C-alpha cells in the first residue's frame, strides 16, 4: 500500500519492463505522427473535441431525442 493512501497499490517495474515501456511509448509516438500526417492542427482539435463530447454523451446515458444537434 502507498504510505498516504492504503487503497493505492504500488508496483515497481523491473529494468526489462521499464525498457519495454520506453519502446511502447516510442512506438505510440510514431503511430500518432502517422495517424495525424496531413491533418491540420485545427482539424485535429475539432476531432478530439467532438470525440470527447461523444464519450461524455455515452457516459451520461440515454437522453430524450429532441431532433436537434448540440
Residues with Cβ within 8 Å of 13's Cβ and at least 6 positions away in sequence, in order, are 21
**In the chain, where the domains are located:** 15-60
Spatial CA neighbour of 50 closest among 34, 64, 69, 68: 69
pLDDT tens digits along 5-57: 888 888 899 999 999 999 999 999 999 999 999 999 999 999 999 999 999 99
Strands, DSSP E only, in 1-70?
A: none
- The reported pLDDT for the residue numbered 8 is 86
Amino acid at each position: 500500500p502507498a504510505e498516504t493512501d492504503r487503497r493505492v497499490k504500488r508496483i515497481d517495474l523491473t529494468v526489462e519492463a521499464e525498457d519495454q515501456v520506453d519502446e511502447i511509448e516510442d512506438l505510440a509516438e510514431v503511430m500518432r505522427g502517422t495517424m495525424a500526417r496531413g491533418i491540420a492542427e485545427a482539424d485535429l482539435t475539432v476531432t478530439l473535441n467532438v470525440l470527447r463530447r461523444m464519450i461524455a454523451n455515452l457516459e451520461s446515458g440515454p437522453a430524450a431525442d429532441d431532433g436537434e444537434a448540440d
